[in-house]
């Protein structure tokens, strides 16, 4: 096999100044970086100092929590409010920040092949992926990501701290504000409170600030950057306009459906005022886009509402964001492909632009891989657990999309099922990107076989 096809390739050139370098494939480097971060987090969370009353939460629980934090999922096997000390909460928060921010910055760095000189083909792929016109701009994207993240998180933390300081000492309010600003922007469902955001289900300031931060974190840094640069709707790229409109449509769709289905359910929205119902429905619609916070008891939702949440979790957020799922762009491309087929159009079109067949194929591959992975995980859980199928499906999609919303099932699962969720969370975080890199580095065959008819449908 040629050296460039190896998973690890060594540069053995004898030219002066040339060093022997280990070139690992970008997916392997990305996965390895997350594994190292998870292991370090596991060690820290397993320390007695990380547990309440200086009691360790246990090695396996620490590993699960570290995986959930680094993958910015939010599923928990312990009561994070009471089981973790102040040090433990700080470790958890740092892991969430590194997992969310690190994912994006690692994506950029690995797209540049970890510092090595890019080929023309790789440069073209990187330019298309990050919606830029020069490689130098891509290199600055990492800096823009960090600045944007810190700006949004600081603003949100200050607003939340000031609002909470009306009833709490400012120091405590600031801690809560920082915690929720970081977990919300990184689309992680960890909360400072035992019942997530249920105590503030009717608080417009808390709900609107947190949902706004969730949307900003999940819409994608390329969309944020394009919007801040151009500031006029007509000047925005077709991709940015599509993602903004699709995000708005999905959030409004979920909001209307959840409100309609649950408004008469006394266990969820039925006993609330109209304004509180609207806030709670909006919160659950937005947070289902891989954030994981809850302001109502989702175990009491109708099955029809639960299916809507599963769909929203499966779709997820935007590309190059802190959200996961199959991504909004993938969903929109497949809808456009379906519509083009129904209208008997040769090309798939969006915003008066033609979508390349390779993009449609990539979207189909991503959805199929994700669906098959979800099917396998749910199948294993049905073997290990005697639980309602809707609960097992919900927990699996929540883990795979790194949403972290739970029907209070995760802590009660067997060790085998928890291991399945650990694998699912990890795969859900790096899987789509790994698939992109695999497609980006594919080898083109010079052999073309004759066409054959394969009836479908």
**Average pLDDT score over residue span 30-50:** 89
Query: Does pLDDT of 449 surpass 90?
Result: no
Q: Is the pLDDT of residue 116 over 80?
A: no
Classified as helix, coil or strand, 23 is strand
* Whole-number pLDDT of residue 29: 67
Widest CA span of the chain, in angstroms? 76
| 210 pLDDT higher than 90 | yes
Asked if pLDDT for residue 301 goes beyond 90, the answer is: yes
Q: CB atoms < 10 A from the CB of 424, how many?
A: 30
- 152-202 pLDDT tens trace: 999 999 999 999 999 999 999 999 999 999 999 999 889 888 888 999 999
pLDDT tens digits, residue range 57-94?
999 999 999 999 999 998 999 988 889 999 999 999 99
Average pLDDT, the chain: 83
pLDDT of residue 265: 94
Which residue's entry shows tokens 């449509």?
249
The answer on pLDDT for 391 being more than 50 is yes
The predicted structure's pLDDT at residue 119: 54
pLDDT at 4: 37
Q: How far apart are CA 344 and CA 418, in angstroms?
A: 46
Q: What is the mean pLDDT of residues 384-403?
A: 94
Cβ neighbours for 52, distance < 8 A, ≥ 6 positions apart: 82, 83, 84, 85, 88
Contacting residues for 367 by C-beta, under 8 A, at least 6 apart: 326, 330, 334
CA end-to-end span of the chain: 40
440 — pLDDT class (breaks 50, 70, 90): low
pLDDT, position 234: 85
Backbone angles phi, psi at 4, to 5 degrees: -70, -15
Query: Per residue in 325-372, pLDDT tens?
Result: 888 989 999 999 999 888 888 888 888 888 888 888 888 888 988 998
DSSP 3-state assignment of 40?
A: helix
CA 114 to chain centre: 23
List b or e across 56-82, with b for residues whose CB sees 16 or more CB atoms inside 10 angstroms.
ebbeebbbbbbbbbbbbbbbbbbebbe
Tokens at 237, concatenated: 């790229």
Residue 247 to residue 241: CA distance in whole angstroms: 10
Mean pLDDT of 312-331: 87
Average pLDDT, integer, range 2-14: 40
Please state, in angstroms and rounded to a whole number, the distance separating the CA atoms of residues 410 and 431.
Answer: 22
DSSP type of residue 292: -
Helix, strand or coil, per DSSP, at residue 353 = strand
pTM of the model: 0.85
């Amino acid at each position: 096999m040629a050296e460039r096809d190896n998973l690890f390739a060594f540069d053995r050139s004898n030219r002066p100044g040339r060093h022997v370098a280990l070139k690992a494939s970008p997916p392997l480097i990305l996965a390895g970086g997350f594994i190292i971060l998870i292991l370090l987090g596991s060690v820290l969370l397993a320390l007695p100092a990380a547990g309440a009353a200086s009691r360790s939460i246990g090695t396996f629980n620490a590993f699960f929590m570290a995986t959930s934090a680094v993958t910015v999922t939010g599923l928990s096997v312990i009561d994070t409010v009471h089981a973790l000390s102040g040090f433990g909460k700080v470790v958890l928060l740092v892991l969430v920040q590194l997992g969310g921010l690190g994912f994006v910055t690692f994506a950029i760095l690995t797209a540049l092949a970890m510092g090595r000189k890019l080929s023309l083909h790789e440069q073209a792929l990187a330019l298309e992926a990050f919606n830029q016109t020069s490689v130098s701009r891509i290199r600055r994207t990492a800096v823009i990501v960090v600045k944007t993240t810190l700006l949004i998180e600081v603003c949100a933390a200050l607003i939340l701290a000031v609002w909470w300081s009306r009833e709490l000492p400012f120091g405590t309010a600031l801690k809560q504000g920082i915690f929720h600003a970081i977990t919300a922007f990184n689309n992680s469902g960890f909360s400072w409170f035992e019942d997530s955001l249920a105590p503030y289900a009717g608080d417009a300031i808390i709900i609107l600030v947190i949902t706004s931060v969730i949307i900003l974190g999940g819409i994608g840094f390329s969309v944020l950057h394009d919007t801040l640069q151009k500031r006029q709707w007509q000047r925005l790229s077709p991709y940015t306009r599509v993602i903004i409109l699709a995000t708005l449509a999905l959030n409004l769709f979920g909001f209307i459906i959840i409100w309609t289905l649950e408004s008469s359910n006394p266990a969820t929205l039925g006993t609330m005022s109209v304004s509180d119902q609207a806030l709670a429905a909006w919160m659950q619609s937005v947070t289902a886009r891989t954030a994981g916070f809850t302001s109502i008891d989702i175990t009491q939702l109708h099955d029809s509402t639960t299916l809507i949440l599963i769909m929203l979790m499966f779709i997820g957020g935007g590309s190059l964001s802190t959200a996961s799922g199959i991504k909004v762009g993938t969903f929109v491309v497949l809808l456009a492909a379906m519509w083009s087929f129904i209208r008997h159009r040769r090309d798939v079109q969006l915003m008066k632009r033609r979508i390349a067949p390779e993009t449609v194929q990539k979207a189909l591959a991503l959805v199929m891989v994700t669906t098959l992975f979800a099917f396998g995980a749910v199948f294993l859980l049905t073997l290990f657990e005697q639980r309602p199928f809707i609960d097992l499906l919900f927990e699996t999609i929540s883990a795979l999309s790194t949403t972290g919303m739970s029907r209070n099932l995760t802590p009660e699962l067997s060790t085998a099922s928890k291991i399945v969720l650990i694998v699912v969370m990890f795969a859900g975080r790096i899987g789509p990107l790994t698939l992109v890199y695999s497609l980006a580095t594919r080898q083109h065959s010079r052999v073309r076989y004759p066409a054959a008819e394969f009836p479908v449908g």
